[in-house]
Structure 1
Amino acid sequence: MELPVAIMAGTTLAPVVAGNTVLLKPAEDTPYIAYKLMEILEEAGLPKGVVNFVPGDPKEIGDYLVDHKDTHFVTFTGSRATGTRIYERSAVVQEGQNFLKRVIAEMGGKDAIVVDENIDTDMAAEAIVTSAFGFSGQKCSACSRAIVHKDVYDEVLEKSIKLTKELTLGNTVDNTYMGPVINKKQFDKIKKYIKIGKEEGKLEQGGGTDDSKGYFVEPTIISGLKSKDRIMQEEIFGPVVGFVKVNDFDEAIEVANDTDYGLTGAVITNNREHWIKAVNEFDVGNLYLNRGCTSAVVGYHPFGGFKMSGTDAKTGSPDYLLHFLEQKVVSEMF
């Protein structure tokens, strides 16, 4: 579950600001957080009926809400499978419906940090570890691929392992760095991918799991991977990052783009020409220089991706509101 307050609040209130009423269907794992938002909205004086709280099993009510003839806009953050299903169902014109539905979907990523030669390897390692393991890797922008130039590969990998060993895992009430993943389904999925990673590459760090008092997964680094390996292609949504070695910057960009997703990316380089090449060719909606690939700031970094990452709605910008409006041009002559 990704940022259950920020994303849920933003996708709920943007259409309200644009003058719409909203049916808020929270993720089944986090209904109470959405309920607390409803309390805040009521306390703030939002009229009843503007935002309507509709928790429930998505299998029972999800299709109904999407299919309904009076649903004009659908905004969704979640998996690729669910997002494409929503997109497909929204295209069907229901009986009594006289408009085309608009879908805003954010469906995840397979985000990469590209590390060039002749760079600050400490900065590169910190960017990778912070981006990969913050929020236990449960962010659509999390770094799950480290694409590193051969000249600095061993050093960046070694420093990333060292930093990862310093991370704490446990109950975050005690200011522990990493907490559990959201549920057993995700816990089992991550375990499966760690097993795959051991087969495709080398387990360098982590890989352990514990579900005795929550669904805890150690921050995991897997090296020696190839671009087409499953660890490098499929979204895991957990604390797992794969390392791949490249011969030059051209190959690095080629590997970075070798995925169905195009959400975020970062480039660690001191070469201005390489950065301009990345700006022109790295096919992601949010691209960062010499920092991690996460933590877009609302109002400064409008957020949204290309390809199968979604509809590139650029959440967090004034333009986002236009997705929830119908624009009308009026011309008068006297």
Structure 2
Amino acid sequence: RARAAFRIWGRLDFGERREQMLRVRDLMLDRTDDVVARVCDETGKTPFEALFTELFITADLIDFYARHGDKTLRPQRVNSGPMRLTKRSFKVYEPLGVVAVISPWNYPFSLTMSPVVSALFAGNTVVLKPSEVTPLVGVLVGELFDKGCDYPDVVQVVTGGGGAGSALIGAGVEKVCFTGSVATGKKVMAKAAETLTPVTLELGGKDPMIVLDDADIERAASGAVWGAFSNSGQTCIAIERAYVEAGVYDAFVDKVVAKARAIRQGTSNDDVGSMTFPPQLELVERHLADAVDKGAKVLTGGRRRKDLGDMWFEPTVLVDVDHSMAIMRDETFGPVLPIVKVADEAEALRLANDSPYGLSSSVWTKSDDRGRRVAGQLEAGNVCVNDCLISYGVSGLPFGGAKESGVGRTHGIEGLTDMCRVKAVVEDRFGLKRELQWYPVPPGGYGLLKRVTKLLYRRGAANKLRALLKG
């Protein structure tokens, strides 16, 4: 059905696809409370957090592609180099066909809609396999396209576990978009490699925060608390490590602990909701136990809130941590912030880059020059200066990781062209009887071509003249 739908959808002009996507957005906005409620029911998020991180960000991404997609996907003239006198060259962006989207449970609406929206704007159709932890949000995504789009079957939804995802990858799709853990991402890539199916992988992170000695400590502490504990830390770009220069370390830690203790939990009007997936909460507890056994100190939090329910965990701040601990090496994906005192900027950078992950990062300083210098040395796909996480919310920026944190990009024009086949087209302008390189090779052709090559590519006017005269 998705392939049959592609034969129609893929031939529509961009203006018609844009109109259909805006209609789906209109329906999504009409059903804002339904979307938010579905997300909260399956994840434990607060309504405010669900509205901002799931629906608002999705609405803005659709707006970005509606405004910029047409220009991005138009055929683009390319300089034909030394052949420009007789040739016209273009890049042409064509849809791939059917795109498989395998989406996660931590942001089950926005991290589903991002690849779905990009694929559809580019002219593809989609088969969506939502996480088995949050399947009903995926079903809701399918409903929005069924009811909001005039063209049937452009988004198909299949539910199930890992077996369903593996079967989908092997079903002859033209591309796979996966968001999830590094371990599962490697399995997705291996399965896709059997048919040389291209992949976009948005995988895990162990994102560092660097606080320099000239930072605004009040802002940095507030950012650390939001960046570490938003969505109970179940965010691939959450702050999972903080490296703080010695001169401001004590003040920073004091402020972070005070702000963490002030976070409200327990009702829909509070700051932070519950965790979502029981095995993830158990992993958080294992990481904490390992750290404490090796000498870490818990300054606040560190326990389940059993008075609130099985999935609630306190925002937790740790010190006296080092890279021998799992909590500093492996993705924790929970409401835990370990803080490390460092001697200087160089040590902060060394430790921040001492990780197989490279998704996001942040640096905090009052100096623009210093911030940009440190940002340029962080081994990550995304860097924020004096902010955190928000790079994902800038729809015009490409999003993706370095090292083991992923392959490819979503968002931005790169996220749109990533859903296309880029075709090279060269047109002859004059229809001459022959080309220089065609058979038969002309008498003296080698000498002539040697002169032309040196004339074009030798450096300096004297060298070019010498090439013209002597070959």
Instruction: Please say whether Structure 1 and Structure 2 have the same fold, judged by a TM-score greater than 0.5.
Output: yes
Q: Which of 173, 186, 201 lines up with 1:71 in the alignment? A: 173
Aligned residues: CA RMSD: 1.6
Rounded to whole Å, the distance in 2 between the matches of 1:298 and 1:55 is 30
Query: Which of 12, 19, 28 is the aligned partner of 2:132?
Result: 28
Out of 175, 183, 187, the residue aligned to residue 277 of structure 2 is 183
1:43 is the counterpart of 2:143: no
Alignment of 1:123-142 (within 5 A): 123-142=219-238
Relative to structure 1, the CA distance from residue 323 to residue 9 in structure 2 (aligned partners, 3 Å threshold; closer, same or farther) is: same
Q: Percent identity?
A: 32
Residue in 2 that maps onto 1:219: 315
Counterpart selection for 2:202 from 101, 106, 120: 106
- For structure 2, the 5+ residue unaligned runs are 1-104, 432-471
Match of 1:97 in 2: none
C-alpha contact 2:130 2:138 (8 A) present in aligned 1: yes
For 1:96, the equivalent position in structure 2 comes to: none
Letter aligned with residue 132 of structure 2: E
Does 1:198 pair with 2:292?
Answer: yes
Instruction: Normalising by structure 2, report the TM-score.
Output: 0.66
Name whichever of 9-18 and 155-164 sits farther off: 9-18
TM-superposition CA deviations, 1:93-145 (whole Å, max 9, x none): 3xxxxxx3111001110011100113221111111111000111111110010
Task: Quote how far apart the aligned CAs of 1:7 are.
Answer: 0.8
What corresponds to 1:311 in structure 2? 407
Pairs within 5 Å for 1:1-334? 1-58=105-162, 60-68=163-171, 70-93=172-195, 100-171=196-267, 173=268, 175-200=269-294, 201-210=296-305, 213-294=309-390, 296-313=392-409, 315-333=410-428, 334=431
Shift of 1:182: 0.8
Secondary structure of 1:329's aligned partner: strand
Give me the whole-angstrom Cα distance separating, in 1, the residues matched to 2:250 and 2:323: 18
Q: Structure 1: how far apart are the matches of 2:116 and 2:214?
A: 45
Return the TM-score normalized by structure 1: 0.92
Deviates more, 1:21-30 or 1:263-272: 263-272
Contact preservation (8 Å) 2:375, 2:385 = no
Q: Which amino acid aligns with 1:33?
A: V
Post-superposition Cα deviations, 1:59-118, rounded to whole Å, max 9, x if no partner, equal x212111123x121010111111001111121113xxxxxx3111001110011100113
Contact 2:200–2:406 under 8 Å retained in 1: yes
Compared with structure 1, are the counterparts of its residues 46 and 111 closer, same or farther at alpha carbon in structure 2 (3 Å cutoff)? farther
Q: Which has the higher helix share?
A: 2
Paired residue type of 2:414: D
Q: Residues of 1 paired with 2:405 and 2:281: CA distance?
A: 22
Please list the CA deviations of residues 254-297 of structure 1 after superposition, one character each: whole Å capped at 9, or x if unmatched: 11101111111111112445323313211111111112244522
